[in-house]
Amino acid sequence: MEKLIITAAVVGSRPTRAMNPAIPYTPAEIAQEAVDCWRAGAAVAHIHVRHPESGAPSMDIELFHEVVARIRDECDMLINLTTSGFHLQGKDIAEGRLAPVALAPDLCSFDIGSVNFTEGAFVNPPQWGVQAAERMRAAGVKPEIEVFDVGHIAQARALIEEGLIEQPAYFQLCMGVGWGIEATSENLHFMHSKLPDGAVWSVLGVGRAQQVMITQAMEMGGHVRVGFEDNLYLEKGVLATSNAQFVERAVRLSGEVGREVASPAEARRILSLPREEGKHEERD
């Protein structure tokens, strides 16, 4: 079976230190969490940024730039920058969302299709999908297609058929997010059955569904995402003290199901990304 890509989503836009004191806010803290996850076995860091003092969600390009520079100074981890911009307001939200593409990350998240979160509607209209796909394709940034329900996969397939997303497409099946598809075994198999042939796919599960969903994904040949963006607890009533703890657990689970963990260089090959020269090739 293909080696396992572990993505660490180290902060997201929702968790706060009131929920878990270990949540990173500053660029230095976010980057360090990512590097610690790389040492634990993660090949990809999924990055949001926060206002360093308040912890409020931000799309400040300078904060993204600092995080990217700090990670790249330390390791060869693949960098996946968010374009969700859920909290952005104004006339040209799409441009604000797409600003991180200019930093030439390896990947950018690509939220396709609208969905109701508990705190509001996450609106991703059809024109956003086309604009984001075109921008990422022109920049040579691979989209990580985040889908929250089965209709989102159909929309992504249409963009692939139009040539706006290059093969192999990379999907993140988001299970148990807001009022998106529930995190059940039946739903995971259903979502997987709708993916286009040859797609690379990964799974995240929110909260207590995280461990069950990633274990099933490993057994099915998919990849996984873990971290504070999706879950704050290692077990009932026990807050995690770092993102690396989730990665370490994913590594243990991968051994139990017989999956070797992919290095960043191996993840590049699996995702059909260009090789980067002169980077660290081994974890400490």
**Whole-model pTM above 0.85?**
yes
Longest pairwise C-alpha distance within the chain? 50
On the question of pLDDT at 281 being above 60, the answer is no
pLDDT (0 to 100) of residue 279:
53
pLDDT (0 to 100) of residue 51:
97
pLDDT (0 to 100) of residue 89:
76
Q: Give me the torsion for CA of 140, 126, 83, 14, rounded to 10°.
A: -160
Amino acid at 222: G
Long-range Cβ contact pairs of 28-31 (< 8 A, separation 24 or more): 28/66, 28/70, 30/67, 31/66, 31/67, 31/70, 31/71, 31/74
Task: Return the sign of the alpha-carbon dihedral for residues 219, 222, 228, 229.
Answer: negative
pLDDT (0 to 100) of residue 118:
82
Q: Is 109 left (phi over 0), alpha (psi -120 to 50) or beta?
A: beta
Q: How confident is the model at residue 275 (pLDDT cuts 50, 70, 90)?
A: confident
Helix (H) or strand (E) holding 173: strand 170-175
On the question of pLDDT at 252 being above 70, the answer is yes
Amino acid at 12: G
On the question of pLDDT at 23 being above 80, the answer is yes
The C-alpha angle with vertex 64 and arms to 147 and 232, in degrees rounded to 5, equals: 55
Question: How many Å apart are CA 261 and CA 277, to the nearest integer?
Answer: 21
Residue 199 near residue 147 (C-beta atoms within 8 A): no
Provide, rounded to the nearest whole percent, the portion of the chain with pLDDT above 70: 97
Residue 11 near residue 48 (C-beta atoms within 8 A): yes
Question: How many Å apart are CA 19 and CA 93, to the nearest integer?
Answer: 28
The tens digit of pLDDT for each residue in 163-183 reads: 999 999 999 999 999 899 999
Amino acid at 279: K
The C-alpha angle with vertex 245 and arms to 242 and 248, in degrees rounded to 5, equals: 150
Residues 6+ apart with CB under 8 A from 31: 66, 67, 70, 71, 74
The tens digit of pLDDT for each residue in 28-83 reads: 999 999 999 999 999 999 999 999 999 999 999 999 999 999 999 999 999 999 99
Q: What share of the chain is helix, strand, coil (3-state, %, to 5)?
A: 40, 20, 40
Sorted by where each starts, the structural domains of the chain and their CATH numbers stand as 6-271 (3.20.20.70)
